[in-house]
Every structure is written in structure tokens, then in C-alpha cells.
């Protein structure tokens, strides 16, 4: 069923503009760059530090949970391995497929911002959604990889916000 959905996307949505846009959008998050820069920028702005710290904590928790624990443990094969006839629009990722690291990092920031009370979670959600879709469009993740990334992102996002609030509370006490 998942392969059918990916094939449907290729058959019905594939076009020159998206063939250009989706690798670009996906590339913004190849190593979490856009989200790391976003968290760093928020940390530099005095009134936004809680939001930046929440996002940074969420990204660190995501790195540990997704890249160091889940991907190596589960080791799911990526969908393009089942369709070698499709030309890849991005270099073939070398790590495992589940969960989607792009989706997990993106949604970790979204949920960290939401949990810490930042209105910036809405524009972050828009970029996160397009990023997650790009991974399906590019045939590098299964739909359940994306869902797993979103759920992991939600968990580490909320945990990151709680951790940031705790760290700030402790720093004010000393």
C-alpha cells in the first residue's frame, strides 16, 4: 500500500517545477541545517531565548533518538531500492529509512515552539509539512517513515520545551 502511494505521487504529481523545488526544500534539512540555524537565531534574540533553547534541546533529543538509536536499530530499507527504474532526484541516502530524520527534526522544532508558547510554530509547521512531503516526492521515505518522524518529533519537541523551561528555571535560581 505504501509503495502504491509513492507510485501515485510519481504518476500524478511529478512535474518540472516540483522536480526542482522538492530537492531544494529537502536539502534545507539534510543535516538539520535550517532548523539548527533557526534555533541559533532565536537564542541570539533575548526575548526569544526560551524558544531557541526549546528548539535546540528538541533537536539534540531528536539526534539521539532518531539517528543514534532508532535508525540503526530498525534498519529499514528505503523505497527507491524497490524501484531502481526511477531516476533519483537527490543522492541516495546511505542510512536507514525509519523514521524520517528530516520529518523528525522539522516537527521537533514545530512542537518545541508550540509547547513553549511561540507563535512561530505556525510558519515552522508549513516548512515542516513541505519538507516531509518532499521526502515522499523524492522516493526516499515510506509514508510510515514520515509518520514515525512526525510522532518522534512531537515527543522530543514537547520534551525539549520541558527541558528548556527546567534549565531556565534552574539558571534563575542560581
pLDDT at site 174: 67
Residue 13 lies in a domain: no
**What pLDDT is recorded for position 135?**
96
Give the integer Cα–Cα distance in Å for 76 and 98: 6
Residue 164 covered by a domain: yes
Is residue 99, in this structure, part of any structural domain at all? Answer: yes
pLDDT of res. 92: 80
Per-residue pLDDT of the chain (174 residues; tens, 9 = 90+): 999 999 999 999 999 999 999 999 999 999 899 999 999 999 999 999 999 999 999 999 999 999 999 999 999 999 999 888 888 888 888 889 999 999 999 999 999 999 999 999 999 999 999 999 999 999 999 999 999 999 999 999 999 999 999 998 888 776
CA–CA separation, 121 and 108 (whole Å): 10
Residue 6 domain-assigned? no
Tell whether 12 is covered by a domain. no
Domains: count for the chain: 1
> Which is nearest to 90 in space by CA: 134, 46, 133, 125?
134
Using CA atoms of 163, 60, 112, 38 in order, give the dihedral in degrees to the nearest 10.
130
Task: Give the Cβ contact number of residue 96 at 10 Å.
Answer: 18
Residue 168 lies in a domain: yes
The answer as to whether 72 is a domain residue is yes
- In which domain, by residue range, is 155 found? 33-83+93-173
For the chain, how far is it from start to end, CA to CA, in angstroms? 55
In a domain, 9, yes or no: no
Amino acid at each position: 500500500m505504501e509503495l502504491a502511494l509513492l507510485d501515485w505521487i510519481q504518476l500524478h504529481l511529478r512535474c518540472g517545477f516540483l522536480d526542482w523545488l522538492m530537492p531544494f526544500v529537502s536539502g534545507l534539512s539534510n543535516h538539520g541545517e535550517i532548523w539548527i540555524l533557526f534555533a541559533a537565531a532565536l537564542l541570539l534574540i533575548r526575548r526569544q531565548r526560551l524558544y531557541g533553547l526549546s528548539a535546540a534541546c528538541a533537536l539534540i533529543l531528536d539526534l539521539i533518538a532518531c539517528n543514534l538509536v532508532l535508525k540503526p536499530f530498525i534498519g529499514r530499507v528505503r523505497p527507491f531500492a524497490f524501484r531502481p527504474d526511477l531516476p533519483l532526484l537527490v543522492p541516495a541516502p546511505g542510512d536507514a529509512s525509519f523514521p524520517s530524520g528530516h520529518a523528525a527534526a522539522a516537527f521537533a522544532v514545530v512542537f518545541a515552539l508550540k509547547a513553549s508558547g511561540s507563535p512561530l510554530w505556525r510558519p515552522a509547521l508549513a516548512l515542516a509539512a513541505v519538507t516531509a512531503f518532499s521526502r515522499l516526492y523524492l522516493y526516499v521515505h515510506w509514508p510510515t517513515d514520515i509518520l514515525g518522524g512526525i510522532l518522534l518529533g512531537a515527543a522530543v519537541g514537547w520534551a525539549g520545551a520541558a527541558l528548556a523551561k527546567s534549565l531556565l528555571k534552574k539558571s534563575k535560581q542560581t
